[in-house]
Amino acid sequence: MMDHNIIFKKASPIHAPTIHQLIKEVLDSYHLYQFRPAYVDQDVDDLETNYFNNNGYFWIVENGLGTIIASVAIYKMDDHTCELRKMYLKMQEQGKGIGRMLFQTAIAKAQELGYTKMVLKTNSKLETAIAMYKKYGFEFETISACDQKADCDVSMSKILI
């Protein structure tokens, strides 16, 4: 069932603490947060530099009560490649089509910004998300050793043409 009261908004610095809490809440529900190195989320503390002034974007999603229930971002890797980042959705909001909307919004924005490839890193425990990525044409890649040190053990990519 789709919640028609959700609102996509450009994230701003005042949202950083809530985004950090969202990340913790979602990853805790999969028992993954304790494995997450602190540096992985430092980009949220300076959205302007890391996203908006770097050919990227960062959204928050609010429910009808003004509570942040989700986030998603596009991060520049190089002139042609972006990374899907910070795609988190509160557990109680899953199964309503919001995750699909987050994903489709990010892909459309990446194409608008001129990217031809999108990469992402996730955890194998997030089976529903991985199934969605595969449905939209993402394919598995070999994950680098540096990524294996974090909480991500799956790397995927998609050509956006």
Give the domain ranges of the chain.
7-115
Edge to edge, what strands does the sheet with 117-122 contain? 7-10, 57-62, 68-76, 81-89, 117-122, 154-159, 139-141
How many DSSP H helices and E strands does the chain contain?
5, 7
Higher-pLDDT residue of 4, 31: 31
Residue bearing the bigger pLDDT, 148 or 113: 113
Q: Is CATH 3.40.50.2300 the classification given to domain 7-115? A: no
Q: DSSP label at 133?
A: H
Collapsing DSSP states into helix, strand and coil, what is residue 151?
Answer: coil
What integer pLDDT is reported at residue 148 of this predicted model?
57
pTM listed for this prediction: 0.91
Cβ-proximal residues to 159 (8 Å cutoff; 6+ apart), any chain: 116, 117
